[in-house]
Amino acid sequence: MAMTREDNDLLTRVENGAPMGEMIRQHYWIPAIPSSKLDAGGRPFRVRLLGVDYVAFRAPDGAVGVLDESCPHRRASLALARNEPGGLRCIYHGWKLDVKGEVIEAPNHAGDQQQFCKHVRVNRYQAVDRGGIVWVWLGKGDKAPKFPELPFVDLPESQRSVTSVEVPTNWVQGVEASMDSSHVGVLHESTTQITAGGGNQRLLMTKALAPKLEFEDQPYGYRYAAIRNMPGEQIYARVNNFVMPWYGVICPPDAHGPTTVFFSTPVDDVTHRAWFVHFNPHRALGMTVMSASPDVWSFPPLPPGTPADNWGQNRELMRRGHQTGFPQHLGTEDFAMFLSQGPIYDRSLEQLCSADGAVLRVRSLLLKAVREHQAGKVPYLADNDALDYAKVRSVGGVLPVGTDWRSLTEAA
Ligand code: FES
Ligand SMILES: [Fe+2]
């Protein structure tokens, strides 16, 4: 049954107190900016999350902070502030805020400054620098949610690269794509061939053969196996994980090869940030298109055109055999699809098929969590005691017919 418009709104909207935005704010750490963008003592960056503007910065001693963008005095932007030892100093009247958001100096106030500073109301956010990303928790209270220890977080820097780009559509369109395995062999047929130099045969097979999907609930979300019959009494199984509220942890195309965690974080209702964490748990990555990108906060490239020229699709290239006419990057192909769906697409109009089970499950987990939050409960999938991010393993391989795909996970 198609989704109602009401549920579509509940699922997608995050701004101005929308329940989904409030649920995420309270129960999840939000990736804010790649660590490499923040130099110690360098410029603060404006970061928009859930429809609100913040600034992220790294103090001269290396500590990271995320604060409301507006100065608590008279609302000048702290993106313009000086980054001094001990905190950001607003350039308007010189108030200074430490990495926790506390006002520690108000030089234009006559009288007892310490007393005065204590009474300035501020929002305090916890920020951490892990896995090449500065994350922030924007919830109320002191007890932060459990940090998502995804498989890339504790790897050495040489084994991962982090890039992201702002995409002008709603975030759920991005999250859905990360769990939508039936688009990979179609939309990404050419890019997969190009990056694998002639083609990763198994990945390319995913186009020809409709998989059977088997799901398993997990305390962090779910995992599923996409199982395809192969010649010679064999099956090819790929196990992917969805980790609430937006992480797609993808099975590597080759055992011991690099793989990706995709996530799409809500900037506001009609904008998201698409993150690509590329990593190899076994060895250094070396140079990749990701690590060689000129700006890790603006990569992969968006489609080069506008709706008027079909987002810059290159039809000449298609005549020469390219699948999509978006040769820039695999991500560019996805972004072209999101843009063509519209800013927030109306899920009441879609017609789903058997391949859409994983996408449906993403939606139902998000909707369940937001309804639990609305009912005043801690969403089951955000319950700290139940969460075990260390269990998230995405693996794949060829097995004899009749073997349980769970044995792959065990072997890994
Ligand atoms: S507005 Fe920032 S110190 Fe006055
Ligand atoms: Fe894709």
* Nearest atom within ligand 1 for CA of residue 76: 1
Q: Which residue has the higher pLDDT, 59 or 386?
A: 59
Backbone angles phi, psi at 373, to 5 degrees: -60, -45
Residue 103 near ligand 1, beta carbon < 6 Å: no
Distance, CA of 127 to CA of 124 (rounded, Å): 10
Band of residue 205 on the pLDDT scale cut at 50, 70, 90: low
Model pLDDT for residues 134-193, shown as the tens digit of each residue: 999 999 998 999 999 999 999 999 999 999 999 999 999 999 999 998 898 899 999 888
Model pLDDT for residues 184-204, shown as the tens digit of each residue: 889 999 988 877 654 455 555
Residue to mutate, 67, 71, 84, 105, ligand 1, most ligand atoms under 8 Å from C-beta:
71
Band of residue 412 on the pLDDT scale cut at 50, 70, 90: very low
Per-residue pLDDT averaged across 324-337, rounded? 96
Nearest-CA residue for atom 1 of ligand 1 = 74
Looking at the CA of 248, which ligand is closest?
2
User: What is the whole-number distance in angstroms between the Cα of residue 214 and the centre of ligand 2?
Assistant: 21
Residue to mutate, 88, 90, 122, ligand 1, most ligand atoms under 8 Å from C-beta:
90
In SS3 terms, the chain reads as CCCCHHHHHHHHCCCCCCHHHHHHHHHCCEEEEEHHHCCECCCCEEEEECCEEEEEEECCCCCEEEEECECCCCCCEHHHCEEECCEEECCCCCCEECCCCCEEECCCCCCCHHHHHHCCCCCCCEEEEECCEEEEECCCCCCCCCCCCCCCCCCCHHHEEEEEEEECCCHHHHHHHHCCHHHHHHHCHHHHHHHCCCCCHHHHHHHHCCCEEEEEEECCEEEEEEEEEECCCEEEEEEEEEECCCEEECCCCCCCCCEEEEEEEEEECCEEEEEEEEECCCCCCCCCCCCCCCCCCCCCCCCCCCHHHHHHCCHHHHHCCCCCCCCCCHHHHHHHHHHHHCCCCCHHHCCCCHHHHHHHHHHHHHHHHHHHHHCCCCCHHHCCCCCCHHHCCCCEEEEECCCCCHHHHHHC
* Nearest atom within ligand 1 for CA of residue 108: 3
pLDDT at site 198:
47
Per-residue pLDDT averaged across 316-322, rounded? 97
Model pLDDT for residues 90-121, shown as the tens digit of each residue: 999 999 999 999 999 999 999 999 999 999 99
Residue 275 near ligand 1, beta carbon < 6 Å: no
User: What is the whole-number distance in angstroms between the Cα of residue 282 and the centre of ligand 1?
Assistant: 49
Nearest-CA residue for atom 3 of ligand 1 = 93
